[in-house]
Chain A
Amino acid sequence: MAEAATQEIGLFNRREFLRLGFWAATALAAAEIGGAALVFFWPKLKAGAFGGEVNIGTLEEILPQLPMDAVPLYFREARFYLSHVEDGLLALYRKCTHLGCVVPWNYEEDQFHCPCHSSLFNRKGEWQGGPAPRPMDLMGIDIRNGEIWVDTGEISQRTAYVPSQAVPI
């Protein structure tokens, strides 16, 4: 390693300053490319797919299929059940709050019955039995101009059912 025998002025001599400048410019260019790569690779969530706000139809379309206390409607692509209870509509995230299995509706038992460890939930997603530590998680429902929008990117946990969780119709 040959040290340049140059006059010492301030923090750097000329060679060190130029070298630092070279590395700083290289780091800047690398950061730009890295940032651009991040933007390039960032996925565009398709409208209507899981992770974004999903329009599942108008109230006039949905309600005839889903009278109060009917079997919850399953939206497979958006990964939730739409349930109609006495206080309004609930969007129940299908993932079991125990270990994350997909919870199906059990028609014979008339409740959600997780196939993995038999966690049980009712129409409101309330815990009925099994190892699940809390009720089923909720997605936000917004009714705009009679159309039902479910925000599948906004999943909230809860400890119990309260009527304000349901969206009145």
Chain B
Amino acid sequence: MAFLPVPLRDLPREINRRIRNSRAWKSFFRSGYPDNRKDQAQIVIGNVFLHLHPVKVPTNAIRITYTYCLGGISFLLFLILTITGVLLMFYYVPSVERAYNDIQALSTTVAFGQLMRNLHRWAAHGMVLSVFLHMMRVFYTGAYKPPREFNWVIGVTLLFVTFGMSYTGYLLPWDQLGIWAITIGLGFAGYTPFFGEQAKQLIFGALEINQDSLLRFYVLHVIGLPLVAAVLMSVHFWRIRRDGGISTPL
């Protein structure tokens, strides 16, 4: 084993050392492993993803029976919906000629297509439920009270955006269930005071559900509403920190 720079038993450690001392590793991580409280806090503050999160969370605030992790579950479901949704977009065309057949093909001929579709479906139902339960939890624990009242407002907006994503997704399979459900919504929009007709045409792009409605709902579903949700979620998480950290049980 003369060609090895170190004895075989030291090889894993030597590889580890060389990777961590490499220029690429150091440029990526900049600092070493944070093994003390100060460095750990510094990394949470300095990391673009982690900085939204409070550096320190009180132990009794993350007790499972206090938060039930409902906000975290909602976010996880949103991530699952994003990933599975992007995968579904590879096999779905929002046209009245193709939409229904594309969904049938996804369920029957595409490998893992049915799995992705059902993950998307159940995660969507779950997200509506978990966002609603999260709001209930915040209400019953009084976590909406000052100084957190504006985060409650953002949260309610997120609830409506969630409903919007769920509703717009309902039409996309272009089956009888979706078409008539959305037709009912079209009727609702018509009852808007003063400008019902205009609201109908603006939201649905037509006087009855057709290709234009499908395209509008598709664009709202895959980019419009998720983009709004992502921005609002960032602010929602960040404000937890800005408003003095997560609320704690009394």
Interface residues of chain A, those whose CB is within 8 Å of chain B, are 1-2, 10-12, 16, 20, 36, 39-42, 44
A10: chain B residues within 8 A (beta carbon): 9
Contact between chains at A39 and B111 (CB < 8 Å): yes
- Interface residue B112 (Cβ < 8 Å from any Cβ of A): yes
B28: chain A residues within 8 A (beta carbon): none
- Interface residue B71 (Cβ < 8 Å from any Cβ of A): no
Contact between chains at A39 and B112 (CB < 8 Å): yes
A2: chain B residues within 8 A (beta carbon): 33, 35
CA distance A2 to B110 in the complex (A): 49
Quick one: which of B13, B33, B35 contacts A16, CB cutoff 8 A? B13
Contact between chains at B113 and A40 (CB < 8 Å): yes
Listed residue (A2, A11, A40) with the most chain B CB atoms within 10 angstroms of its CB: A40
Contact between chains at B12 and A12 (CB < 8 Å): yes
CA distance A58 to B35 in the complex (A): 77
Contact between chains at A40 and B111 (CB < 8 Å): yes
Interface residues of chain B, those whose CB is within 8 Å of chain A, are 9, 11-13, 16, 20, 32-33, 35, 87, 90, 109-113, 116
Contact between chains at A44 and B109 (CB < 8 Å): yes
A36: chain B residues within 8 A (beta carbon): 111-112
B11: chain A residues within 8 A (beta carbon): 11
B111: chain A residues within 8 A (beta carbon): 36, 39-40, 42
**A-B pairs with beta carbons under 8 Å apart, 28 shown:** A1-B20, A1-B32, A1-B33, A2-B33, A2-B35, A10-B9, A11-B9, A11-B11, A11-B12, A12-B12, A16-B12, A16-B13, A16-B16, A20-B12, A36-B111, A36-B112, A39-B111, A39-B112, A40-B87, A40-B110, A40-B111, A40-B112, A40-B113, A40-B116, A41-B90, A42-B111, A44-B109, A44-B110
B20: chain A residues within 8 A (beta carbon): 1
For A8, give the chain B residue with the smallest CB separation.
B9
For A39, give the chain B residue with the smallest CB separation.
B111
A44: chain B residues within 8 A (beta carbon): 109-110
B64 to chain A, nearest CB (A): 25
B119 to chain A, nearest CB (A): 12
For B91, give the chain A residue with the smallest CB separation.
A40
A42: chain B residues within 8 A (beta carbon): 111
For B11, give the chain A residue with the smallest CB separation.
A11
CA distance A94 to B232 in the complex (A): 55
Listed residue (B33, B111, B112, B116) with the most chain A CB atoms within 10 angstroms of its CB: B111
A40: chain B residues within 8 A (beta carbon): 87, 110-113, 116
The 10 closest A-B pairs by CB, nearest first: A39-B111, A2-B35, A1-B32, A40-B112, A40-B111, A11-B9, A44-B109, A36-B112, A11-B12, A1-B33
For B113, give the chain A residue with the smallest CB separation.
A40
A1: chain B residues within 8 A (beta carbon): 20, 32-33
CA distance A1 to B35 in the complex (A): 8
B154 to chain A, nearest CB (A): 33
B87: chain A residues within 8 A (beta carbon): 40
A9 to chain B, nearest CB (A): 10
A20: chain B residues within 8 A (beta carbon): 12
B13: chain A residues within 8 A (beta carbon): 16
For B20, give the chain A residue with the smallest CB separation.
A1
> Besides the contacts A11-B12, A39-B112, what 19 more A-B pairs have beta carbons closer than 8 Å?
A1-B20, A1-B32, A2-B33, A10-B9, A11-B9, A11-B11, A16-B13, A16-B16, A36-B111, A36-B112, A40-B87, A40-B110, A40-B111, A40-B112, A40-B116, A41-B90, A42-B111, A44-B109, A44-B110
CA distance A39 to B20 in the complex (A): 35
